[in-house]
């Protein structure tokens, strides 16, 4: 199943999310969650990003290994935009979750360019 999920991440059709979102909403193994995360990135449509964000936040609140949480946080950093950053802040209060705040600081600083780092740190912290 993981191979199929990874393979379909290369398909740029929005229809695939009809299958991706239900899989991500259900309890999955860490490896399956990591594979599902491959479907999300800056090139996704805004509607997909807005729908994905709360689901990915829910994944962060599950008992997952640090490497999987890191992968989820990285994908979230790539899909955060002006029209969904408030949703992120309302659903995930980083000021009350120090561990997640530190995770996002690390992810943003390692995986974003300077302009994006400035934008995200100004918006979410």
Token look-up 């943003």 returns 108
What pTM was computed for the model?
0.92
pLDDT tens figures, 41-88: 999 999 999 999 999 999 999 999 999 999 999 999 999 999 999 999
Residue 79: its pLDDT value, please? Answer: 96
The answer, yes or no, to whether residue 108 has pLDDT greater than 90, is yes
Nearest Cα to 60, choosing from 33, 89, 96? 33
CB 28 within 8 A of CB 36: yes
The answer, yes or no, to whether residue 93 has pLDDT greater than 90, is no
State how far the Cα of 14 lies from the Cα of 49, in Å rounded to an integer: 11
Secondary structure of 9-51 in HEC code, one letter for each residue: CCCCCHHHHHHHHHHHHCCCCHHHHHHHHCCCCCCCCHHHHHH
Q: Which two tokens stand for residue 109?
A: 């600083």
Q: Which two tokens stand for residue 19?
A: 């299958």
Number of domains in the chain: 1
Give the domain range for residue 52. Answer: 2-124
The answer, yes or no, to whether residue 1 has pLDDT greater than 90, is no
pLDDT tens figures, 10-31: 888 888 999 999 999 999 999 9
Residue 7: its pLDDT value, please? Answer: 87
Residue 40: its pLDDT value, please? Answer: 95
Nearest Cα to 40, choosing from 74, 70, 91, 64? 74
């Amino acid at each position: 199943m993981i191979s199929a999920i990874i393979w379909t991440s290369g398909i740029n059709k929005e229809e695939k999310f009809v299958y991706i979102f239900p899989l991500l909403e259900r309890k999955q193994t860490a490896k399956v969650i990591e594979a599902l995360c491959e479907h999300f990135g800056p090139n996704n449509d805004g509607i997909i990003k807005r729908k994905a964000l709360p689901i990915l936040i829910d994944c962060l609140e599950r008992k997952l290994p640090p490497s999987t949480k890191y992968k989820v946080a990285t994908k979230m950093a790539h899909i955060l935009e002006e029209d969904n950053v408030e949703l992120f802040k309302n659903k995930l209060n980083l000021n009350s979750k120090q561990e997640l705040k530190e995770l996002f600081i690390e992810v943003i600083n390692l995986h974003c360019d300077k302009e994006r780092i400035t934008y995200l740190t100004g918006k979410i912290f």
